[in-house]
Amino acid sequence: MTRKHRRLVIVLACGIGLGSASALALNAFSSSMVYFMAPSDIAARRPAVGRPIRLGGLVQAGSLHRETVDGEPTAVFKVTDGKHTIPVTYTGILPDLFREGQGVVALGALEPGNVFKASEVLAKHDETYMPKDVADALKKAGMWNPAKGPAPPSSTWATASLKQP
Amino acid sequence: MIPELGNFALALACALAFAQAVIGIWGAHRRDVRLMAATPGLAVGQLLALAASAGALVWASVSNDFSVINVAENSAIAKPLLYKISGTWGNHEGSILLWGLILGICGGLVSVFGRNLPSALRARVLGVLGGTSAGFLLFCLTTSNPFFRDFPPPVDGRGMNPLLQDPGLAFHPPILYMGYVGFAVPFAFAVAALLEGRIDAAWGRWVRPWALVSWCFLTCGIALGSWWAYYELGWGGYWFWDPVENASLMPWLTGTALVHSSIVVEKRESLKIWTVLLAIGTFSLSLSGTFLVRSGILNSVHAFANDPARGVFILALLGLVIGGSLLLFALRAPLLRSGGIFAPVSREGALVLNNILLCSICAVVIAGTMTPPFADLLFGQKISVGAPYFNLTVLPLAIPVFIAMAVGPLLPWKRGRLWPLVEHAWWAALIAALVGGVCAFGMKLLPALAFGAAAWLIIGSFAEVFERTLLFRAPVANSVRRARGLPVAVLGAAIAHAGMGVTVAGIAGTSLDSNKIVEAKVGDSFSVGGYQWILLGLDDAPGPNYRARVASIEVLKDGRPLAMMKPERRMFTLQQQTTSDVAIRTNLFRDLYAVLGDERDGKAVLRLHVNPLAPWIWLGALIMAAGGALSLADRRLRVGAPSRAPKAALPA
């Protein structure tokens, strides 16, 4: 085994290691990349039923109630960005920081009948902090100009535009 | 007055660090003995100043000095004392100060324990540490100063995020930072070696213990964070592939590779250039990980603040440290000559394989973590990469690591053959296959495979120990005598590798959990995972700075009462925030886990879990760290330390 041989073997091994790593990564990327969508985005471009997405917006004030579905307690609420709303169901314990009128990000997929079934609900922030994606979505929907102070509570927004599907 | 003194001490430390950098590197370059001899003193001075500064911040927090903005925003009179102390590093400014302090401790330790280092190497190492430190302290002073005041002070502070008010979290940041920052020492050694243009076995012998200590701390820090997520967040999970978790995993992976490749440098004077690159890479990942998270570029629970000024400073600092060291590497690495030829099938070859695989895992984790921010920055696309990606990429790459981990140490240096491996490890493979086969009845393929891998790791890791002690083949007395003579490092490696197996078993066991979300009124009874859970009561209870709602749940096994569990839901009045306090009962083989959710019409939402082998996840990490610490105690690391004698006089 000469020095040249050894180098060749090491380079080959590196190639195989990194090659398989990138093959795995590319393969996994195509199937597990999850897009963030605000309710308006969903209204504009409806994603396929069952395709995992992250839905972000504010929990509409007064929309949260609980039901029992298949014997398991389920929270039902609406997520809004001021222009559109999406009804969301979530089975499980809502995070400690979940509150009406505050930002939320839900991971899940649309079900037949335009209901978003969440498998995970994230609201990990304090009352002054808003998830960046949600803040951007609110600005895009024209509901919040950060130069004019904090986001208004969703209960004060015109609800007329919220009735649209 | 005290906060001003703290601020002054911080500025003094920054100046000393700057002096340490200039004097160390310039002095070593000019071979000026007096300048080089001054660096250890400067490092110790910097450490003392930083300790005084950190002490001043703790004092301000404990004495409720709300005129200090940092204290007013993160503390309150009613906060328990432990959290007043730990709260000083639970926020952005304080955590940067802690970073600086630990970096200062590293510098101090190098000056104290590095007495018999060649003086030029020591001066350069301390110079590089000082330069890094100066950058951080400047960042702390200018953009994240914890000592800024505001008048008039508020009557009470705004309090700390209740999620952080937890004993586990009091120790998580310092331990994790010891790991992160500890890798600054191998980094400094690497840069110093590049400046000198020379690396020898002694260099490897110096770098390895530092890398090992940092690795042990990082392992414990990551485990502590994961354990905190398990019992504090109440989601039943322990690892979420959150950007900040990945940020700690990446340096751990390359750090593990570094610990192994430095063995090759030490024993065989080979893989030198690669080891230097790993040392630079590991610290760069620690650095960029923490700071990308802290600056809010990576969206995470741990993001403290989004301040553009900080972001720019951080990016400049990262560019300087990482770019500078990589540039130096590109210019000087060709000077480092590697010796030691080895065959692909040999101990060196196995360690190279370990390095390639660990770095590949690290690469896929980086790709998954960095894609979302870059997609947002470049294409304005909001995407996230979740757990499925990481499971699909990391698992297939981890399996060859596990297979090689147990048998690698059996290979001899330089040249080996594969057949003896089969001879020495067939019984471990047989047991692993049996465990996997038995598990395959009644559970899915992946957990069965993982249990097989765990058995292989735990048993196979000791193959070398058995081999060396001739256990069961020689008389017992003979084996005991051989065991006494066994190098501690061999035992340490076996224990650390077996620890990985324990963690794998824990992960596999936890994936078989049974859980149920129920809506219960007092007196209701449920059956989860073979246990009967009865909700006995829902009561109010006061706390120091919160009100709590406590559920009393009795758990029965076969009709016999087993445990009384009291999960809580705490309402923190000051922050208007609720946290859940999970109740966990463990017997080391399974966890009973109960969470109290919100209540409606006298009915409470409960989440009940039975998590088999869950404690093993963190136990395994502790065993890994213990194995690492044990191999530090190896005599060979101390006795073989280089003498400072004539090396210093050699031209670079």
The ipTM assigned to this model is 0.75
Handedness of CA B222, B223, B224, B226 (dihedral sign): positive
CA distances from B427 to A33, B419, B460, B580 (A): 43, 14, 8, 47
**The pLDDT value given to residue A100:** 80
**The pLDDT value given to residue A13:** 83
Whether chain A has a CB inside 8 Å of the CB on B92: the answer is: no
Q: Over the stretch B78-111, which tens digit does the pLDDT of each residue have? A: 888 988 998 898 888 898 999 999 999 999 999 9
**The pLDDT value given to residue A157:** 44
Backbone angles phi, psi at A154, to 5 degrees: -65, -20
DSSP SS3 for B313: helix
Whether chain A has a CB inside 8 Å of the CB on B383: the answer is: yes
CA distance B130 to B134: 6
CA distance B95 to B86: 10
CA distance B118 to B127: 14
From the CA atom positions of chain A, what is the Rg in Å?
A: 22
The domain segmentation of chain A, as residue ranges, is 1-33, 35-160
Does A96 contact B580 at a Cβ distance shorter than 8 Å? yes
| Residue B509: alpha-carbon gap to chain centroid | 23
Whether chain B has a CB inside 8 Å of the CB on A90: the answer is: no
**The pLDDT value given to residue B22:** 95
Does B386 contact A34 at a Cβ distance shorter than 8 Å? yes
Does A93 contact B597 at a Cβ distance shorter than 8 Å? yes
Phi-psi region of B442 (alpha: psi -120 to 50; beta: other; left: phi over 0): left
Residues B601-630 as b/e (b if ≥16 CB within 10 A, e otherwise) read eebbbbbbbbbbbbbbbbbbbbbbbbbbbb
Closest by CA position to B401, among listed B464, B460, B463: B460
CA distance B429 to B422: 9
Contacts of A36 in chain B (CB under 8 A): 382-384
pTM, full prediction: 0.89
**Structure tokens that stand for B145 in this block:** 């100063």
DSSP 8-state secondary structure symbol assigned to residue B569: E
Does A124 contact B301 at a Cβ distance shorter than 8 Å? yes
Contacts of B398 in chain A (CB under 8 A): none
Angle at B368 between CA B364 and CA B374, to 5 degrees: 125
CA distance A82 to A80: 5
Contact between residue B235 and residue B609 where contact means Cβ atoms under 8 Å apart? no
Closest by CA position to B238, among listed B558, B528, B632, B614: B614
Q: Tell me the residues of chain B between 172 and 231 that have a Cβ less than 8 Å away from chain A.
A: none
> Which residue reads 């002690």 in tokens?
B469
Does B392 contact A18 at a Cβ distance shorter than 8 Å? no
Percent of chain B having pLDDT more than 70?
Answer: 94
Which of A67, A74, A90, A93 best probes binding to B when mutated, by most B CB atoms within 10 angstroms? A93
Report the topology of domain A35-160. Answer: OB fold (Dihydrolipoamide Acetyltransferase, E2P) (2.40.50)
B387-407 and B488-510 are packed helices; what angle lies between their axes, rounded to 10 degrees?
A: 150
CA distances from B18 to A3, B12, B29, B49, B129 (A): 43, 10, 17, 13, 10
Whether chain A has a CB inside 8 Å of the CB on B423: the answer is: no
**Structure tokens that stand for A118 in this block:** 């969440």
Whether chain B has a CB inside 8 Å of the CB on A62: the answer is: no
Does B607 contact A14 at a Cβ distance shorter than 8 Å? no
Q: Over the stretch B199-241, which tens digit does the pLDDT of each residue have? A: 887 888 889 999 999 999 999 999 998 998 898 877 778 888 8
Q: If 0-12 CB within 10 Å is exposed, 13-18 middle and 19+ buried, where does residue B126 land?
A: buried
> Which residue reads 């925003």 in tokens?
B73
> Which residue reads 């219960």 in tokens?
B520
DSSP SS3 for B177: helix
Give whichever of B56-60, B165-169, B416-420 has the largest mean pLDDT: B56-60
The mean pLDDT value for A149-159 works out to 49
Instruction: Sort strands B583-586 and B560-565 into parallel, antiparallel or unpaired.
Output: unpaired
**Structure tokens that stand for B272 in this block:** 């030198």
The one-letter code for the residue type at B528 is V
What's the number of CA atoms in the CB half-sphere (13 Å) around residue B206? 28
- CB-nearest partner of A92 from B361, B368, B517: B517
DSSP SS3 for B32: coil
For residue A155, what pLDDT band results from cuts at 50, 70 and 90?
very low
Q: Which of A139-143, A161-165, B127-131, B362-366 has the least mean pLDDT?
A: A161-165
- Name the β-bridge partners of B180: none
Does B299 contact A133 at a Cβ distance shorter than 8 Å? yes
Does A17 contact B163 at a Cβ distance shorter than 8 Å? no
DSSP 8-state secondary structure symbol assigned to residue B183: T
